[in-house]
């Protein structure tokens, strides 16, 4: 496999950056080395990176689910507390109203 130096083409290239993003870095400059790997080695590298990314994503998902479950429990607890406070306020309001009407004897 041969690598082609395209320095001459780069010098003659128009100044408006006519190279696409795909080919922009696809050349060898003086002082750089080109490493050739097999397709199997490339697949191994890509799979290794994707396995690490999948593992990291699963870890993040697990932590997010744990936080979600904790927040759901907190919401449920707060809703129960709110309902208890509403009932307490309602019963206190009812008792005060009955005491003003004289229907409830405060001495009892």
With respect to residue 97, please indicate whether it lies within any of the assigned structural domains.
Answer: yes
pLDDT along the chain (108 residues), means of 10: 52 50 62 84 84 90 97 97 94 84 58
- 1 inside domain: no
pLDDT of 69: 97
Residue 81 lies in a domain: yes
Reported residue count of the chain is: 108
What tokens appear for 7 in the block? 């320095």
What lies within 8 Å, CB to CB, of 36 at 6+ separation is 1
Q: Which domain holds residue 84?
A: 7-101
* Number of domain units in the chain: 1
CA distance linking residue 64 with residue 58, whole number of Å = 10
pLDDT score, position 8: 47
CA dist 47 → 23, 37, 40, 71 (Å): 24, 15, 10, 35
pLDDT score of 24: 58
In a domain, residue 38? The reply is: yes
- What pLDDT, on a 0 to 100 scale, did the predictor assign at position 45? 84
Residue 91 domain flag? yes
Residue 15's pLDDT is 52
pTM of the predicted model over 0.85: no
In a domain, residue 83? The reply is yes
Residue 11 lies in a domain: yes
Alpha carbon of residue 32 to chain centroid = 38
Name the residue among 32, 35, 29 with its Cα closest to residue 6: 29
């Amino acid at each position: 496999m041969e690598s082609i130096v395209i320095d001459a083409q780069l010098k003659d290239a128009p100044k408006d950056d006519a190279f696409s993003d795909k080919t922009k870095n696809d050349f060898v400059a003086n002082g750089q080395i080109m490493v050739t790997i097999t397709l199997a080695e490339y697949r191994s590298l890509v799979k290794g990176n994707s396995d690490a990314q999948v593992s990291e994503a699963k870890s993040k998902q697990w932590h997010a689910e744990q936080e979600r479950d904790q927040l759901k429990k907190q919401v449920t607890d707060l809703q129960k507390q709110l309902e208890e406070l509403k009932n307490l306020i309602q019963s206190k309001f009812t008792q005060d109203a009955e005491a003003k009407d004289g229907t409830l004897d405060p001495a009892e």
